[in-house]
Structure 1
C-alpha cells in the first residue's frame, strides 16, 4: 500500500477525498461495533441511512426489515432496535435486513461513498480489518484512508485510539507504506493510551468510559455497552459496502465468533 492516512473527522474528506483508496470507517462507540456484531450474528445486510426519516422510508420499502439506530443515544420512537451491540444477537437478527441510522456513524459511512472500497472497523474486528486491507493493497489498492466518525463534529478519542491501533496492525502485516501525519498522530495517541489487547478488556472499557462518548453513554444508563465496544479481535467479520448496503466479508478469518 502506498500510504496510510488517518482522517480524524469526516470533514477532512473535503480536502483529502477518499477517491481510489480503500477506506475504513471507525465509530467505536457504537455504530461500527454494532454493525459488525450484527453481521457476525447472521444479519443478511445493513442498509445505512443518513436521517431518521430516510431510515423509516427505507424500512417501509424493505419487507421484513428491522429499523435500527439512535438519536441522542436512544432509539427513536417506533424503532425495533437501538445502537447497543448487545441487542444484535443471532436470535434477533439472523437472516434479516437491518436499516440503520445513527447520529455520527452512518453520516461518516455516507461521506465515503466515492471510495474504492468501504470497510468498517472497530476494536472487535481490528485484526480482520488489517488483513482485509492488506489484501486490498496486494491487489493493487491505492493506499488506505482510515476515517474516524467523531462526535457531533468534534474529534473522538475512542475512534482515534482504534485508528492508531489499526495503523500499527497494518504496519505489522509487512505491507510497506508511508504514514501521514494523521496516521502518526493516531499511533502516538494509541501508544499513550496503551494498545488494547483481548486480555485487557477491563482496561480498554475503562479508557472508553473516560471519553466524551463514553460519558454520554453512562449518563443514559448504557455503561454496559462499553464492555462490548472494548472487546478486541473476537470477531472475524469485516463489513464491506456493496450495492448500497453493508454485508459481511469473511475472506480474512482469524477471530472467534460467538454472538
Structure 2
C-alpha cells in the first residue's frame, strides 16, 4: 500500500526539524513501513526546500515539496487548492490519503473527489473549538466549522486524540460512531518510563510546547499550595506569561 500524507496547511518539513519534531513524527511512518503494510509514503509539504531533509528519512518516505513558484500566503493557499492537480501523479499512485491536521484537509477532500481515493482525516485537536477559544478571526478560522463538516463527510475514516473530541465531532457533525476512532498521541515507553529513583520525590516534569493546547495554567493551579514543584522543558508563545502566572499564584 502507498500512503500519502498531507502536511498541515503552511507547515514545512524544515519546521519539524527546527522545532525538534521530526524524530517523533517520522517514527510513526517508519513503524508503518517496518510492519510491511505500507511499502511507500509520500509526504506533501509546504516547503520549497524540504527535499534537503530527505537524507534523515527512510528512503521509502518521499518528500514532495511545494513548487518554488508558489510564494507568499496567497500563492500558498492557491497551491493547497491546486495540489491535487500539480501533484497528480502522487495522488493517483497513493492508495490512501491522510491528513496530519484539519487545517489543510480541503486538499484531501478535493483529491479524494477527483481520484476516488479513500481519505483518512486525522486531527490532534479540534480546530474550530481552538479557534473559538483563542478568539482567532482569520478567514480560514471563521469557516473552520464548515471545513470540519466537509472533511468528516468525505472521510472514509477519521481519528481524534481525545475522547472529548470524539464525542464532540460525532454530535456536532452527525457522524457515525464507527467512523471516528479515538487514537491518543503515542509515547515511546522505551524512553519515557518510570525510573527506579527517589532523588526528587516532590518534583513533576513537563516536556512539551508551551501553548494553550497543553492546558498548563490548569496544571499550575493544581500545584499551587502543594509541596510539589514543576520543571518545564520546552518553548512556546506562553513562556513569559507562564512565568508570571507561576509567581502570581505561588506555584513552584
Compute the TM-score of the two structures, normalised by the length of structure 2: 0.27
Query: Which has the larger helix fraction?
Result: 2
The structure that has the greater radius of gyration is: 2
